[in-house]
Chains A and B, each alone.
Chain A
Amino acid sequence: MNDWINASVLIAHDIGLHARPSVKFTKLAKGFSSEIEIASALGGPWFDAKSIVRVMAIKAGTGSTLHLRARGSDAGAAIATLSGFVASDFDKDRAYAASD
C-alpha cells in the first residue's frame, strides 16, 4: 500500500507541458484519491501533481521526460490516465489554434 507506482513519459508536444495542458493535467490528477507526484528527474525533487503552481514550475518543455509516481488505492489508474494524457500530446492539444 505504501509502495509508489512509477512511470516515465516523454513529452513530445511541441510546446511542452504549458498553461492549458497543465490545467487539464491537474484536473485529471485531482480526480484520484491517491497521492500523485511528478518530477523532471528520477531522483526528484518530487512535486504534488494536483497543484498547477507546482506542475507549471517544473517547466517541462518539449523533448523532456516527465516522471510520475503515485501511491494509494487508485494509484495504478492514476498513473495510466496521466501518462496516457501526456503521451497523447495532451489529448492533441493545439496551442491557441482556433480563433486566430
Chain B
Amino acid sequence: MLPAIEIRGKPASEGIFTGPVVNLGVTRLASRPARDAAVERAELESAIAAAIAAVKALAARNAGTAADILEFQIAMLEDGTLRQRALAAIKQGASAADAWWRVLENEIAGYTNSNDQNFSARGADLRDIRDRVVRKLTGQDFAQMKSGSIFVSDDLAPTLFLEADWSQGGAIALRSGSSSSHVAILARSRGVPMVIGLGEAWPNACDHAIVDGTEGLVLAAPPPALVDIYTKRSAAETAQRDHDRKFLLAPARRRDGTPVEVQLNIARAEELDRIDPASCDGIGLVRSEFLFRDAASLPGEEEQYLAYRGILQWANGKPVTIRTFDVGGDKPLRGLTAEGNGNPLTGLRGVRLTLARSGLFRIQLRALARAAIHGNLKVMLPMVILPRDLEQSAALFDRCVAELRNEGVNCARPPLGIMVEVPAAAIAPELFAKAAFFSIGTNDLTQFVMAASRDEACAAELEEAAHPAIARLIAGVAAFGRENGIPVSLCGDMASAPQHLPLLLEAGVNSLSVTPAALARVKSALSRI
C-alpha cells in the first residue's frame, strides 16, 4: 500500500475533513481585440452592474462578518474611481475586460506590497472584484462548488466561499493564501477546515485527500487505513471541541469547585479581535517583541503607547501583563540585536540586552507608564538571572515615571515582576523577593534544564515527559511565592497541555496563562481534575 503524500502548509482554520478534491479554475483574462469604444463601454457598465447585483444578492442572504465583507466589495464596485480609470483605458483602445483587469491589477499591487497584513490581505477582495467582472465579460463560469468537497486553488475569493454550499462539510486547501484573509475569517466562523501556503507541491493526479486544518497539512491520495484513522480522529476532536466549548465563558474551576485563574498569552493585538474578554481572567503574557515584528524599525513611544493602551482597553479592567522586549538569542530583532547570532545560550538577551541598550528600553518603559493609567497593567522582565537585572530595571522605570511627571504627562508606575525561566532564578527565587510577581516560563526553563533546544523535533519527546526536575523547580518557586506573598503564575506551553495540568496544580500553581486556542480545552480539563 502506497503511503499518502504529505504536503505541509500552515493552519488557517482548525478541523479535519476527508473527501474528493475539486480544483477550482482560475479566472483568466482572455484578451481579444477591442470593438467600438461605445460597445466596450456599455459592456463594462453592464458587467459592473451585474457584479454589484450578484454581490448584493449574496449580502442579503448573509449577516455579521460576511455581510460586512460583502458591503466592502459593493462599495468598491460602486465607487466611480475604478470605473473611470477603466473607461479611460477603453477610450484609448482597450477592450472592456483588458481595461478592467489592468486597472484592478494596478490597484491590487498597491495592496499586496503593503507591509501591514490588514491591508495586504485585502488584495484578495480586489481580486474577487476583478474576477467577477472579467468572468462576466468573457463568459467564464465556474463549476458549481459541490458541497462536501475539498477546494484547491491559489487563493479563494470570499464571495465564492459564500456562494458555496457547506451543508455537507468541505475544506479549503490553498497554494498561497493568508490566515488574516476574509476567507480565512469566514472559514473559522463556519468551522470549515482550511490550510494555506501549500506551495506548488500539489500532486497532479490526486482526486481524494485529507485536510488537517489543525496541524496545517494535507494528505493527498491517502490509503483507506489512514482515512479510517483520520475519520475517527476527526469525530473525536469534534466531540471534544463541542464539549470543551461549553466551558469557554464560565470561570475556570476544578472538580471540587476551587477556582483557578486562567489568562491568555498573546503576541499580536489582532488576536484579541476574535476573543470575548469574558472568557478569560486577563492577559497573562503579551510578548511585546512580536507586536511590532512587521515594522521596519523599532516603534517610537507613541506607537508603543497606542498598542499597549489598545490591549488595556480591550481587557476593560482585567489584569494585563506586558513582558518587555525579549530579544536576542533565538529571537533577533532588527536594530537591536547583532546579526547572525542564533545561539539561545548567548549571555546578552532579554532584560540584560535591553538594559545594555537603555535608550531603547526607556522608550518602552515610558510608553508602558503612560498606558498604565488606562487599566490594570503589570510589567514583566524576561530572562532575569541576577538580582540587579530587577533592581536596575526598577530604578530605570522610576526615573522614566519621574521624567514623564516633570513633563506634565499623565502616567503611573505599574508593578514590576519577573519571568522565572532560567534555572538560576528557578533554583534561587529568594534572590528576587522584591519582585511584584513571578511568572514561570516553562518553555525556556525546560530547554535549559533538559539541554534540548526546542527547535529540534527530538526535544518534543523530552518535553512530553514532564521530567521530575521541572516539576520540582516549579513547586519550589510556587512554595517560595506562597510563603512570601508573591503571586506566582505559569505562562509556558505546559499550561496549555491538559496532560500537564495535574502536575502543575499539584506543584501549587493556581494561575495559568494559555494560548487562546487552548482556553476552552484547559478550562474543560480543569473541571475534571
Contacts and interface: CB of A to CB of B under 8 A. Distances in A.
A4 B27 CA distance: 45
Secondary structure class of chain B's binding surface, majority of residues? helix
Interface string B43-79: 0000000000000000000001100110110011001
Contacts of B306: 10, 12, 14, 62-63
Interface stretch (A53-61, A68-76, A78-86): A53-61
Contact of B122 (A14, A19, A97): A19
Interface in A1-58: 10, 12-16, 18-20, 22-23, 26-27, 48, 51-54, 56-57
B500 interface: no
Interface stretch (B111-119, B221-229, B505-513): B111-119
Interface string B97-112: 0000000000100110
B270 A95 contact: yes
A99 B110 CA distance: 30
B189 A59 contact: no
A15 B270 contact: yes
Interface string B231-275: 000000000000000000000000000000000000001100110
Contacts of B464: none
Contacts of B111: 59
Given A19-B69, A52-B76, A53-B82, A59 B185 contact: no
Interface size band for A? 20 to 34
Contacts of B125: 19
Contacts, number: 92
- Residue from B81, B125, B185, B299 whose CB has the most chain A CB atoms within 10 Å: B81
B80 interface: yes
Interface in B183-202: 185, 188-189
Contact of B114 (A53, A59, A94, A96): A59
A96 B181 CA distance: 12
A53 B79 contact: yes
B302 interface: yes
Nearest to B305: A63
Contacts of B80: 51
A14 B72 contact: no
- Residue from A20, A94, A98, A99 whose CB has the most chain B CB atoms within 10 Å: A99
B269 A52 contact: no
Contacts of A10: 306
A95 B271 CA distance: 10
A76 to B, nearest CB: 26
Nearest to A98: B64
A53 B107 contact: yes
A15 B274 CA distance: 13
A63 B119 contact: no
A3 to B, nearest CB: 26
B391 interface: no
A100 B76 contact: no
A48 B79 CA distance: 11
A61 to B, nearest CB: 5
A16 B64 contact: no
B310 interface: yes
B361 to A, nearest CB: 20
B188 A23 contact: no
Interface string B291-309: 0000000010011001101
Given A53-B76, A63-B303, 12 more contacts: A12-B310, A13-B310, A19-B69, A20-B68, A20-B72, A22-B72, A23-B75, A51-B80, A56-B119, A63-B306, A99-B64, A100-B274
8 contacts: A10-B306, A13-B310, A14-B310, A15-B273, A16-B116, A20-B71, A51-B81, A63-B299
Which 5 residue pairs spanning A and B have beta carbons closest together? A100-B189, A53-B81, A63-B303, A14-B310, A19-B72
Interface of A: 10, 12-16, 18-20, 22-23, 26-27, 48, 51-54, 56-57, 59, 61-63, 94-100
